[in-house]
């Protein structure tokens, strides 16, 4: 049985469990490459009345409990840092009223189903752990990663999955490149401290961007989907 994986670190794991495994790249690279062919920054900025200030992307996750735990803390930045436009990456699974419940009457904007367009114009980001952390890095946007879930479920998850990190960026690079504010560490004070670094510390931002470049090198080039399809055809044609 042939197994095709989408992350480089999976190769060693599955080979160690006697799988015949191959890696040809990550499909996200294809998606982002396709997006870049069609994107238009100026149209997006104009449609959403943005562009006067640096933009901070807020990605609070996709599940109700994630958004509830993440968004209210993210909103603590809005009044403290008036020199930025804070924009929430909304999903049309929920309506605007749902997000407003956790926005504490701030003037942050919500943009629905435009995550790539938002990341493409963002100066920095605060991102709930998940695939979005990798997407943010592939758009070269300095980020803080966050997560807060059920304490028991989180503890069990850490026991079952023996990983030092939770964000894909750190897992792939096998070291801490982006700060992870998890569980009790996800609070207003810690967020403000880390936000100041990604927003104002030029050396810190540059170092993170250099690590993002290494990340792209490890992931490889775009074209994974076509390469895998070609390989499957070769196998079944034998």
Instruction: Show me where the domains of the chain are located.
Output: 1-25+227-238, 26-222
Q: How far is CA 22 from the centre of its chain?
A: 25
Percent with pLDDT over 90 in the chain: 84
- Indicate whether 158 pLDDT > 80: no
Of the ranges 12-16, 42-46, 86-90, 162-166, which one carries the lowest mean pLDDT score?
Answer: 162-166
Q: Give me the DSSP letters along 98-111.
A: HHHTTSTT---EEE
Determine the CATH number of domain 26-222.
Answer: 3.40.50.2000
Rounded to an integer, what distance in angstroms lies between the CA atom of residue 86 and that of residue 77?
8
- Exposed, middle or buried by CB within 10 Å (0-12, 13-18, 19+), for 184? exposed
pLDDT at 160 over 80: no
Determine the average pLDDT of the residues in 134-157: 91
Closest CA relative to residue 77, chosen from 194, 202, 201, 181: 194
Which pLDDT tens digit goes with each residue over 205-218? 999 999 999 999 99
C-beta of residue 148 within 8 angstroms of C-beta of residue 182: yes
Q: What is the pLDDT of residues 98-137, one digit of tens each?
A: 999 999 889 899 999 999 999 999 999 999 999 999 999 9
The Cα diameter of the chain in Å comes to 63
> 131, 138, 136, 88: which is closest to 113 by C-alpha?
88
pLDDT surpassing 80 at residue 16: yes
- Predicted confidence at residue 40, as pLDDT, reads 86
pTM of the model: 0.93
Residue 128 in 3-state DSSP? strand
Is the predicted pLDDT of residue 154 greater than 90, yes or no?
Answer: no
Map residue 162 onto helix, strand or coil: coil
Q: Is the Cβ–Cβ distance between 124 and 77 less than 8 Å?
A: no
- The pLDDT of 16-43, averaged and rounded, is 92
pLDDT at 153 over 90: no
| Per-residue confidence (pLDDT) for residue 57, from 0 to 100 | 99
pLDDT range class, residue 59, cuts 50, 70, 90: very high
* Mean pLDDT, residues 25-51 taken together: 93
């Amino acid at each position: 049985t042939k197994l095709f994986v989408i992350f480089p670190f999976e190769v060693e794991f599955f080979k160690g469990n006697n799988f015949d495994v191959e890696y040809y790249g990550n499909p996200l690279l294809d998606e982002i490459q396709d997006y870049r062919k069609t994107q238009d920054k100026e149209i997006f900025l104009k449609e959403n009345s943005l562009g006067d200030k640096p933009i901070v992307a807020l990605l609070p996750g996709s599940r109700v409990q994630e958004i509830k735990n993440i968004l209210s803390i993210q909103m603590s930045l809005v009044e403290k840092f008036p020199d930025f436009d804070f924009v929430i990456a909304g999903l049309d699974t929920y309506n605007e009223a749902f997000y407003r419940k956790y926005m504490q009457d701030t003037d942050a904007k919500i943009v629905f189903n435009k995550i790539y367009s938002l990341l493409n114009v963002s100066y920095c980001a605060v991102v709930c752990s998940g695939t979005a952390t990798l997407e943010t890095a592939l758009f070269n946007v300095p980020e803080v990663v966050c997560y807060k879930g059920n304490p028991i479920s989180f503890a069990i998850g850490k026991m079952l999955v023996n990983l030092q990190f939770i964000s894909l960026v750190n897992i792939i690079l096998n070291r801490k490149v982006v700060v992870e504010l998890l569980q009790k560490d996800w609070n207003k004070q810690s967020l403000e401290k880390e936000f100041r670094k990604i927003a104002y510390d030029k050396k810190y931002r540059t170092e993170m961007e250099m690590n993002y470049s290494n990340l792209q090198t490890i992931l490889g080039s775009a074209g994974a989907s076509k390469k895998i399809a070609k390989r499957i055809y070769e196998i079944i044609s034998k």
